[in-house]
Structure formats: structure tokens, C-alpha cells
Chain A
Amino acid sequence: MNDCIVSVSGLVKHFNGVQALADVHLEVAPGVFGFIGPNGAGKTTLLRVLLGLIRPDKGQAKVLGLDISSQSLQIRQRVGVLHEKPTYPPFMRVDDYLKMVTELYGSAKTTQKLLDLVGLSDVGGRQIRTLSAGMNQRLGIAQSLAGNPELVFMDEPTSNLDVTGRDEIIKLLIELYHETGISFFISSHNLSQLEKLCHNIAFIDAGHVIEKGPTGQIIDKHTSGLYNVVCSDPKSMIHAFEGNPDILVVGTSGIDAVTLCVKNLDFKSAREQIHHTAAQHDIELRTFTKANTLEDAYREVIRNA
């Protein structure tokens, strides 16, 4: 694909004998891309390889059509980066730091414009150490936009934020995408937020890319026939469906919730059969919903991997 912003082929990386990336193949189209996987799956390693911070043992990769081995400096000139738990000089003023970063990129963007863009208009004069976690993350986003990037890499952009902070950052990223048209490559394990944000996603586990594609398609593909049932006695519910050829118990998905996989039945028939079985075993069914979130799809992909 010629219009890929990132293309990775056969990438392998080991750290002291431990395989961090195992023959990774990936092609990322412009837009917002989510790179999803558990801790230690290889998300950050791939990001570091793409930025030229570490060298792969094998394989090739291109970012914006530029080779990561020979054109790393040109890549970094055209991308922005927000690392996980980033470190900025604590005693520097916010505006001074952003000014320094724009100078490094040779960008004409003003500090105030960057601050306005991320909703930090009034904190330019403050020292970085006095910022809250949310503000610090916004500063991270501002510095990643300092050089007119075509693509921004973000590693766990909401990892150290509370729910409100996370929602604010997601809202900000959506606004930035619509205002600037910049592509984002977001590595995270926060599925509910990536579901709202990403056009395309890929799942990585133990260094292998195990699924990739448009977000909606992946959810549909892996949640077809999956239902979440909240009931009065999940243990008996699991027991009730043992040996049933049409309805399989996938697992528990909450304190009183069970995920069931229904084969060859539509929603209405599946609900009727489950209700019937529950009544037979004296189990009260509280809610019955189709499992169709990215989290459900991810769980299913990991289970089958």
C-alpha cells in the first residue's frame, strides 16, 4: 500500500533473549489508528523502533514512506511523539519549554497557539512541576504538535489520568483530528476509549499482531453471537448451559454477569432459549444484551489466540 503512514514487515526484536517483537507485519492507513495489547505485549517496543530509539534485530519498517534505519532524522522532523509517562524539565516554564521544542523543529508555531490548541491558555507562565497530571498530559500533546507533524505517535496517552481526565484527552484528540487532519498512532490498553477514537485497530499479544482492520469490522467479526447476561446466580447459569450444543459459556464478565456464545440463533430466539433455561433452573435474568464492544471483541480474540 503506497498511502500507508506506517508499514512494518517482518520486524523482530529481542531484549536479553526475551522476544519483544516476533515477525510483526502491519500497515497503517491515514486516520486514527489504535495499537492494542496487554502490558508487555510489545506496543512500546514497536513505537521505539519506529522512532529510531532502538534498532530491530530483523525486518524493515517505513514511517511516512521513510526508512526507519536510514532516515530516522527526517521521520522525527515530520512526526510528533507523546511517550508514556513523559519527563519534561520540572523547573522550566511551560511556554519556555514549548518555545524550545518549536525551535528544535524549526517550526513557526507560536507557544500561545499550541497552548490554546490543548486548552492550556492560562498556564504558560507556570513551572512544569506545578501542573496536574491532566495538564502535564496536555503539555505532552502540545509538544507533540509543535513541529507541524503529519503523524503523532502516542504511547498510553491516558494511562495516568482519572476518568474525567481521560475523557477530556479523548475529546481533545477527536477535536484535533477534525481540526488539523493529523493522523494518530495510539498505543494503549484502554479499549473503551480507543473504540470511540480509532478508525482502524490492531491487537498485539506476546510480540505477534493477532488481528488488524477497521474497528467496526473487528467488533462485528468477533462479537457475532456473543451475549452478556446479568443474572441472580451466575454459577448456576454456567452449570445450566454445560453440554448445550447451541449455547456456549464464554466466561464471567462481571460479578453477576456471564458471557454466552450463541450459535445458529437470532437475537430473539437466543433470548427466549436463555430465558427458558434460566427459568428451569430458578435463576432470575436481570439484563440480556448483545456483547458488541471493542473490549468484548478483544477478549474473544485473546481467548482464541
Chain B
Amino acid sequence: MRERLSELKKLSRLELTLSYRFPAIEFLIAILVFSSGLGVLSIGMTSIGMNLDPNPYYNATQTTEHYTEHMVQKKTLAYVHALATCTNVLFFLIPLFVAFTVARPFEDGTLKTILSYPVNRSTLMSVRTLLLLSLTSIPTIALSAVWTSALIPSGLNIGYAMIASIATLVSILMMYAISQFVAIISKKSSATVIVGMIFWIMVTTLIYNPFTPVTLVATLNPVYAVFNFIVGGEYAPTISDLVVGISSALAIALCLLATSLKLFSKVEV
């Protein structure tokens, strides 16, 4: 166990040094700071309309409760919107990062050099996956939470926030799994970027189309579906749609990750 941890540590250092040279991480974080801030502000800056009709039956307690409830919903919505905005940006950025970290080493010979050292292929792939997922999901969730807490002073619907955070992780995982699969199959950075972009355009087109089934929207972009669920309305998914969508996305992502891992352990370098 200790040896395994030590190997993971060594490979993480190697991967950070080789693939995330300055300013890659700084660039990613800056984009996420901007996106999450924009996501929170676009909800937080909207004004609220409250009926303060001064009639004899005016119930101040009820109005205050409504206001509090409204603010909680607004804060939750802002948080989820920030996550959705970041995820949308990450859908665009992840193929670029995967092209650079997974596909490019095939092309420039770095992978041949690394795999000539006593490095386990599965461990290397797992480290790459964990590293990129951590570098994208942790800042997304943390920055969205920080912006929301800083700009909207009220309580948060923890249940919805949890579902949205899980949906964010699943969305990022799915995009990563697709990009990684393409990178290993093609061994080409250009193919990885092009397929990633096509997928991003396809998802964006489908999720904004009112005729797309809600379960499909929840599968393609779970975090966007959670946002629609909180907003409510005619095209909003139900909780069961969300569960089916998130589970399907997770299943697709895990299948692709397992296949990629198997392919990578046999791929010719």
C-alpha cells in the first residue's frame, strides 16, 4: 500500500512537471474564476419583486419567510448556475487539455521515453485521470461556492447544492472519458480536439433545443439539467429524470474510462 502511494506520488509529480508547466494550471484557474463569478453574478444581480402592499391584513412574518425562501432559492440557483457555466467552459477546455496531456506524448515521443522507465501503464493513466479531474472539478466547485457565499448572503439549499455538485463531477468525468478514449484510439492531438469540439457543439445544440427529451439533456449535461430542475417550468426535468440522466452519464463515463485503461495497457508506442 505504501509502495503504491509512493508510486502515485512520484507519477503525479512527473505528470505535473511534464504536462502542467506554467501557466497551464494558472490559465485554467483564471478561466474558472471568471466563469464561476460570471455565473453567480448573472443570477445575483437580478432584482427581486416583493409585494409589500400596506393593507390591514399584511402579514409581515409571512413576507419575511417568503423573502428568506426566495433568497435561499436565489443563492442555490446562483451556485448551480456558476457550476453550469464552468462546466460549459470545461466541456470546451477538457479536450484541449487531454489532447495536450494524453495524445501529444504519443506524437512527440515523450510517452515512449516515460514508458521505458519502470512505470506501470495503468497507474500512469489513473494518475493522469485523477489529476485532470481534480484540477478541473475541485476549483469549479470551490470557486462557485466562494463566489456565491461572498455575493449572496443567505442560506443555501444543501440538498440541491449536493446534487448539482455531483452532477458537475459526472459531467466533467464524462467529457474527460470521451476525450481520453479518442486520444488513445487516435494517438493524435488534432483528432482529440476536433472530436471534443464536435461533441461540445452537439451537446450545446441539443440541451438548448426544447424538443430534446429531458432525460437525454440530463445525460448529456447533468448539471444543466439540475439547473433546469431548480428553475422549474414546462421543460424542467423531474427528480427521476435527473437520477436516470446522472446515472446514465456516470455509466457511460465509467465504461469509457475502463475501456481506455484497457486499451492504454496494450497500446503500441
Contact = CB atoms under 8 A, between A and B. Distances in A.
Interface of A: 48, 51-55, 73, 76-77, 81, 83, 85-89, 91-92, 96, 100-101, 103-105, 147
Given A92-B17, A147-B118, A83 B113 contact: yes
Nearest to A51: B116
A89 B110 contact: yes
10 contacts: A54-B269, A77-B118, A81-B116, A83-B113, A83-B116, A87-B110, A89-B17, A92-B17, A103-B10, A104-B119
A100 B17 CA distance: 9
B111 to A, nearest CB: 9
Contacts of A77: 118
Contacts of B269: 48, 53-54
B267 to A, nearest CB: 9
B116 A89 contact: no
A8 B116 CA distance: 19
Contacts of B17: 89, 92, 96, 100
A104 B268 contact: no
Contacts of A52: 115
Contacts of A100: 13-14, 17
A87 B112 CA distance: 9
Contacts of B108: 87
A54 B111 CA distance: 13
A104 B113 contact: no
B184 to A, nearest CB: 15
Interface residues of B, number: 20
A264 B108 CA distance: 55
Query: Is chain B's binding surface mostly helix, strand, loop or mixed?
Result: helix
B21 interface: yes
Given A89-B17, A89-B18, A89-B110, 15 more contacts: A52-B115, A54-B269, A73-B120, A76-B116, A76-B119, A87-B108, A87-B109, A87-B112, A88-B113, A91-B21, A104-B10, A104-B117, A104-B118, A105-B118, A147-B118
Q: Which of B110, B112, B116 has the most CB of A within 10 A?
A: B116
B4 interface: no
Top 10 closest pairs, chain A to chain B, by CB: A87-B109, A81-B116, A77-B118, A54-B268, A76-B118, A53-B269, A104-B117, A87-B110, A87-B108, A103-B10
Contact of B268 (A55, A88, A91): A55
B218 to A, nearest CB: 41
B266 interface: yes
Nearest to B18: A89
A77 B118 CA distance: 5
A53 B115 contact: yes
B21 A105 contact: no
Nearest to A92: B17
Interface in B230-245: none
A76 B114 CA distance: 11
Nearest to B119: A104
B4 to A, nearest CB: 13
A91 B269 CA distance: 23
Contact of B113 (A48, A54, A87, A96): A87
Interface in B218-269: 266, 268-269
A94 to B, nearest CB: 13
A83 B117 contact: no
Given A53-B269, A100-B14, A103-B10, A76 B109 contact: no
A76 B21 contact: no
B43 to A, nearest CB: 41
Nearest to A146: B117
